[in-house]
Amino acid sequence: MAYTDIDDPSAFFNSVLWTGNGSGGRNITGVGFRPDLVWIKRRSAVENHVLNDAVRGVPKNLYSSSAQAEDTGSLMSAIISDGFTVQTDASVNVDGSTYVAWNWKAETSFSNDASSTSVGTIDSVGSVNTDAGFSIQTWTGTGSGGTIAHGLGAVPSFMIVKNRSDGGRNWPVYFGDRTKYMYLSDTIAQANAGTIIWNNTTPTSTVFSVGNDNGVNESSKNYVGYVFAEKKGFSKTGSYIGNGSVDGSFVYTGFKPAFILQKNTARAGSGWGMFDSTRTPTNVSKAMLIANSTAVEDTGNAPRVDFLSNGFKWRTTDNWFNDNGNVAIYIAFAENPFTTSTAIPATAK
């Protein structure tokens, strides 16, 4: 029986913390691998989330807390073998402030000429890790429905896309339903995608589809996509129904989570909550950051979520997370699989 695809999740996803020192060219290490996607948030003050990746190149900044276009401000200046290099900007390294970075490994570069390979209809360049179920790709919009190679060899369950060229374009999120979308940079409830976002087409093991919406495929505009497929014991995308109780809904993942990104699909105004076991190494977790907000880390006065050996359980009545009768979606990554490939069980925090 295969218990997990990955015994050591930290080889593909890891979080690191640091306190800023205001020094330019500072190396932040301890990631454990050369990261291909680095997502940084200043915890102790109001500041944008900053995303850089190895496919677009550094420094090319995007902000999940904003719809603004990509810029080249010198925030994160390099990706290195065990982490990344930050400069003096307040969003990454001001003296005395605390920071977190979530890091994913893609590793293998690819370039797809769709007309030559007959894979997809829109050319793309990217990086992929089939073991971890993660890929990054960039493309130029065509203005009409098409398909883009992702290289995963498995059907994606979660995708985030950003128009890099135009300010004012939000971040469409695919969460397993070709007819729906939400925005990572906004608090809208799930909305009908029709044919303009995902072209009313479910992703396959080779490609995902985009329509003609400006958020995913405006003619001549540049895009990036972060695409995830589930891997047993490492990553899980799904949904659950809240019960409105402090003895909240339990969500089975098959591993002890290291990171959770979550959103209420039904309630407009609810944010994208972010929790991880690095900022809160013991239960019950209170410390929340919000992917669509510049807000300071909220440590709260009441418990929010238990990270368990095989999933997570809400300990709050807050309608962002545990809204009675309403559906929420999530993507989670593992600290440890519930049981390793050699049948060693994990424990809760």
Answer whether residue 49 is part of any domain.
Answer: yes
Answer whether residue 180 is part of any domain.
Answer: yes
Answer whether residue 343 is part of any domain.
Answer: no
The answer for residues whose C-beta is within 8 angstroms of residue 169's C-beta and 6 or more apart is 67, 69, 162, 163, 214, 215, 218
Average pLDDT rounded to a whole number, residues 241-246: 96
Answer whether residue 295 is part of any domain.
Answer: yes
pLDDT digits (tens, 9 = 90+) for 168-193: 999 999 999 999 999 999 999 999 99
Where does a domain end: 77, 104, 131? 104
3-state secondary structure 43-75: CCCCCCCEEEECCCCCCCEECCCCCCCCECCCC
Total residues found in the chain within this entry? 349
- With 70 as the cut, is the pLDDT of residue 321 above it? yes
Residue with tokens 């989570």: 257
Angle at 211 between CA 208 and CA 217, to 5 degrees: 90
- With 80 as the cut, is the pLDDT of residue 313 above it? yes
- With 90 as the cut, is the pLDDT of residue 4 above it? no
| Same domain as 144, residue 51 | no
| Same domain as 14, residue 35 | yes
| Same domain as 98, residue 119 | no
Average pLDDT rounded to a whole number, residues 128-138: 98
Total tally of structural domains belonging to the chain: 3
Burial track 30-45 (b if 16+ CB lie within 10 A, e otherwise): ebbbbbbbbbbbbbeb
| Same domain as 254, residue 211 | no
pLDDT digits (tens, 9 = 90+) for 42-66: 999 999 999 999 999 999 999 999 9
Average pLDDT rounded to a whole number, residues 194-222: 97
- pTM value > 0.85: yes
Among residues 83, 86, 26, the alpha carbon closest in space to that of 61 is found at: 86
| Same domain as 46, residue 90 | yes
pLDDT digits (tens, 9 = 90+) for 257-305: 999 999 999 999 999 999 999 999 988 988 999 999 999 999 987 889 9
| Same domain as 113, residue 99 | no
Answer whether residue 342 is part of any domain.
Answer: no
Answer whether residue 50 is part of any domain.
Answer: yes
* The pLDDT value given to residue 1: 40
| Same domain as 75, residue 17 | yes
| Same domain as 244, residue 195 | no
- With 80 as the cut, is the pLDDT of residue 111 above it? yes
Answer whether residue 348 is part of any domain.
Answer: no
Answer whether residue 301 is part of any domain.
Answer: yes
| Same domain as 146, residue 100 | no
The share of the chain scoring above pLDDT 90, in percent, equals 92
Where does a domain end: 104, 129, 154? 104
Structural domain range at position 219 = 108-228
- With 90 as the cut, is the pLDDT of residue 338 above it? no
What integer best gives the mean pLDDT of the chain? 95
